[in-house]
């Protein structure tokens, strides 16, 4: 039986590959490859041959998970076209929002801790309290490290250069 962490490895907005590795999960058109940490929109030259390790429902979710846009994209396409409700996205915003809320809601049933999210599956907006582990929301050390590791390395490099120049 798949757990929430294996079915949605990067939390709400991500989806593990289906049994048929080339089949796109409904409303998840963005392919991510873990080895390279690149994501591919449908307008990429390599979208077809790329086998996704993880699928995302939008480029912004892929970037929040630490993935970067693959360099094989047309200069004519823009990521905003592939955000929910955009011209290149297969689903409207309410469907994607409902998917994300359902993942957050199912995670809440299986875990403890709490966080606040904006809106819920009914389409209401506002602060809705859900019980989530820190890792599922990206609020834990692991989530922050995945997103901000490059800043840590940059600061460490600057300090090293400054130390060498001073001594």
Q: How many helices (H) and strands (E) does the chain have?
A: 5, 7
Q: Determine contact, residues 57/100, Cβ cutoff 8 Å.
A: yes
For residue 3, pLDDT beyond 50: yes
Any idea which of 4-13, 84-93, 106-115, 145-154 has the lowest mean pLDDT?
Answer: 106-115
- Structural domain tally of the chain? 1
pTM over 0.85: no
Q: Give the domain extent around 12.
A: 4-166
Report pLDDT for 16.
94
C-alpha distances (whole Å) from 30 to each of 36, 58, 69, 153, 160 are 15, 6, 10, 28, 38
DSSP per position, 17-29: --SSTTSPPTT--
Question: pLDDT per residue over 82-137, tens digit each?
Answer: 999 888 899 998 888 888 888 876 655 444 444 434 443 434 344 333 333 444 44
């Amino acid at each position: 039986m798949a757990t929430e962490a294996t079915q949605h490895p990067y939390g709400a907005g991500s989806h593990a590959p289906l049994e048929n590795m080339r089949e796109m999960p409904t409303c998840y058109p963005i392919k991510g490859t873990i080895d390279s940490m690149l994501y591919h929109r449908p307008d990429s030259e390599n979208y077809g041959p790329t086998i996704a390790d993880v699928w995302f429902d939008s480029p912004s979710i892929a970037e929040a998970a630490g993935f970067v846009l693959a360099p094989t994209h047309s200069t004519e396409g823009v990521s905003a076209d592939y955000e929910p409700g955009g011209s290149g996205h297969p689903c409207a915003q309410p469907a994607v929002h409902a998917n994300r809320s359902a993942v957050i809601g199912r995670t809440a049933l299986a875990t403890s801790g709490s966080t606040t999210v904006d809106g819920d599956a009914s389409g209401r907006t506002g602060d809705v309290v859900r019980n989530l582990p820190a890792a599922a929301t990206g609020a834990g050390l692991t989530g922050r490290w995945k997103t901000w590791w490059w800043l840590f390395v940059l600061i460490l490099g600057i300090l090293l250069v400054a130390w060498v120049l001073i001594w």
